[in-house]
Amino acid sequence: MLLAQSALVCSLRFPFSPSIYLLSTLTKKSQPILRQLFNARRLASFYCRILRLRFAFALNLPPEIMEIAPADCPFPGCLFCVMKEDNPTKRRAGIIKFFKDLPLQDEDGQVLPISGLWNTAMAHPNDPEFIELGIFECMAALIWKGLKNRRWLSRDQNIYIPYYAAHIIGSYTMNLEEFAVSAVNALVIPPLVELLRGRLTWVEQRVAVRALGHLATYASTFPAVSNHEVLELAIQLALSSLEIVYSHFYKSVDRRPRYHCDLLTRGMGGTEMESRKAEEWASQLQCWSLQLINCFAFKPEFLPDICKPEFVMKLPGMWGGLVNENSPAGIGLLRTICHHKLGRGTVVNCPGILEALRNIARSSDDWQYMAIECLIWLLKDPSTCHKVIDIAAPALIDLADIAKLGDHLRLGDSIVELLQESLQTCHSISNHVKEQIQELVISRQRLKWEKNMSKEDLHIKQAAALVVKLEGNSLFSSGKIAEAASKYSEALALCPMISKKERVVLYSNRAQCHLLLQQPMAAISDTTRALCLHKPFNGHAKSLWRRAQAHDMLGLGKESLLDAILFINECSQSKDTELSLRQNRVPDYATKLLKKQMRFTWLFREAAMKHGGVYSEHYDGDAQDDEADSDWETASESDLGDDRRESEF
């Protein structure tokens, strides 16, 4: 009983403290105690009201607990009392009155019903009851009140209210267009734009851009969003969001706003948890800004404002980090831009964009297919083909053996057909790229011929390729790396195109030679070809590791990190005793590379360097490892021995 009372008092004074979680646990285990608390006369009427609101919405109490509230509640406008009204007409009238009166009230404790409504919106975003009764008008009025009345905002815990109000709008508009129309009619856009502008803090900007992103998604509400300067503000926010969160919150551990910390951690966890959540929210702030811009990018009339080189050239670097891997972020917006002729013209003239697309296309990025689509559209456009073919064609050639990627069926065949057309229509192709395309066409002809060959002839070609491969292994073991690479090339020329497993090993072995010869681009090419041939796609662990090293040699930290993570994932599932993780322990060499690349790709890295900060503490690792990692061990020589066992014909 004492424990329940203590937790209750604490939760009333500090609604975001850990005590609320203690109360949640007590709810399940101590029903009799809670019944006594509800019926206890010594609880003040105000605390009784707050308690019932807290339990009704935040803790999802059983219905029987709600029914034992005192009948003589001194607050006739209490939302809890209204919600338990049996008469539907009185219930609706009471809710309407509550929503109208709430923005006009100045008493303490308003954050509690608002946080309860937030829980309801998150749990039941498609429930129309509150929409019909004025919740959007109420939330818009509360945001305006917080923007205009700073004295009220600073009282009690009212500072939380604009955040919750914007979040409620975003939750109710994320699924149903009719709810979004109601929100626009309730004039929610102007106060949301003011939050987006930064009139309060980055925390409110995050929920404002979320809500506006939902409203911009629908054809019927997009015009209302576009009538404001939302696009310009979203572009500014996408460019500056990481620096804003770092400089205003992350770096100042001792001066972090208390309510920011409470919202980030829900009252649980310390500085480290706050930092982790701040990184996640900063990523969402940037990614949601990009998603909002993406809604505008589908409309040609807004492209001139979006397709500015200083913005477009930074899109490949906006990837959301590991904390927000579900968002296509910058590459998603680039894909939309490349749908339009104006956008393609901007992309080909931005320094570094084509190289970034090529790198993403040959990586383990979840959005790899978007980069491939961008390269394909740029090649198909006669006005951009001549500018991109020498960069795009080699990457697409490496990807020509992909059978399926996402929703793309026969992607490899489509790539081959496009490159053949480009060979005929584009006259500014380098001789080297021409030769590569011609080799690809010949390899496809070989595949057709082999389908008509007898099994005996195929076995002869396989045996010949095996002999040459073993010669390459012997040369590699004796340290003659360049000669070994030549032998693997010879074996690839002999090996039947339909012998995909054997070709995977040959490409991977030759990639190992390229690594040792300090030829990372060639290594990326061969490992990508091996990964495209492998079933499942991107599932050959040795090739992933070698490509991770090659990306590292070129300073491509993100691509190296993603390959290394996928390598570890493949090892954890492998039945090969040489590859499987011993005692579920990640090998030291992989751990080193992961730590290095996680420091390199840390979301706040640029902001920290600009503001004289340090790397993230939770990406720990000795700083002195950086020097050693530059001479990265490119793979043990025993790898080729493993390949020999794996690829015996």
Query: Residue 406: what pLDDT?
Result: 77
**What is the block-wise mean pLDDT of the chain (649 residues), using blocks of 10 residues?**
41 43 42 41 40 45 44 59 81 91 86 89 94 96 95 92 97 96 97 96 97 97 96 97 95 90 86 93 96 96 95 94 85 96 95 95 94 96 94 96 84 94 88 95 93 91 96 96 97 95 97 97 98 93 96 97 94 70 74 94 93 59 38 38 39
Task: Give the pair of three-digit tokens for residue 210.
Answer: 């979320």
- What distances in angstroms separate CA 406 from CA 369, 401, 403, 517, 570, one per listed residue? 8, 15, 10, 35, 19
Task: Compute the distance between CA of residue 563 and CA of residue 567 in angstroms, rounded to an integer.
Answer: 6
Task: Compute the distance between CA of residue 210 and CA of residue 289 in angstroms, rounded to an integer.
Answer: 8
Task: Compute the distance between CA of residue 31 and CA of residue 37 in angstroms, rounded to an integer.
Answer: 10
Task: Compute the distance between CA of residue 602 and CA of residue 616 in angstroms, rounded to an integer.
Answer: 7
> Left (φ > 0), alpha (ψ -120 to 50) or beta: where does 622 sit?
beta
* Beta strand pairing call for 404-405 and 408-409: antiparallel
CB 276 within 8 A of CB 618: yes
Task: Give the pair of three-digit tokens for residue 273.
Answer: 């948890």
Residue given tokens 């006009």 in the structure block: 104
First to last CA, the chain: 74
Residues 6 or more apart in contact with residue 478 via CB below 8 angstroms:
none
Q: For 49-85, give the secondary structure using H, E and C.
A: HHHHHHHHHHCCCCHHHHCCCCCCCCCCCCHHHHHCC
Task: Compute the distance between CA of residue 506 and CA of residue 533 in angstroms, rounded to an integer.
Answer: 11
Query: Residue 75: what pLDDT?
Result: 52
Task: Compute the distance between CA of residue 644 and CA of residue 595 in angstroms, rounded to an integer.
Answer: 31
Task: Give the pair of three-digit tokens for residue 613.
Answer: 């900060």
Query: Residue 76: what pLDDT?
Result: 52
Task: Compute the distance between CA of residue 258 and CA of residue 274 in angstroms, rounded to an integer.
Answer: 11
CB 298 within 8 A of CB 332: no
- Please give the torsion angle defined by the CA atoms of residues 334, 336, 342 and 347, in that order, rounded to the nearest 10 degrees: 10
Concatenated DSSP letters for 602-631? -TTHHHHHHTT----TTS---TTHHHHHTT
Segment (H or E) for 562: helix 557-573
Query: Residue 613: what pLDDT?
Result: 67
According to DSSP, the residues that pair with 404 across neighbouring strands are 409
Residues 6 or more apart in contact with residue 273 via CB below 8 angstroms:
264, 265
CB 421 within 8 A of CB 440: no
Query: Residue 614: what pLDDT?
Result: 59
What one-character DSSP code corresponds to residue 405? E
Does residue 484 sit in helix, strand or coil? helix
Buried b (16+ CB within 10 A) or exposed e, 431-454: eebeebbeebeebbeeeeeeeeee
Bond before 536 cis per omega within 30 degrees: yes
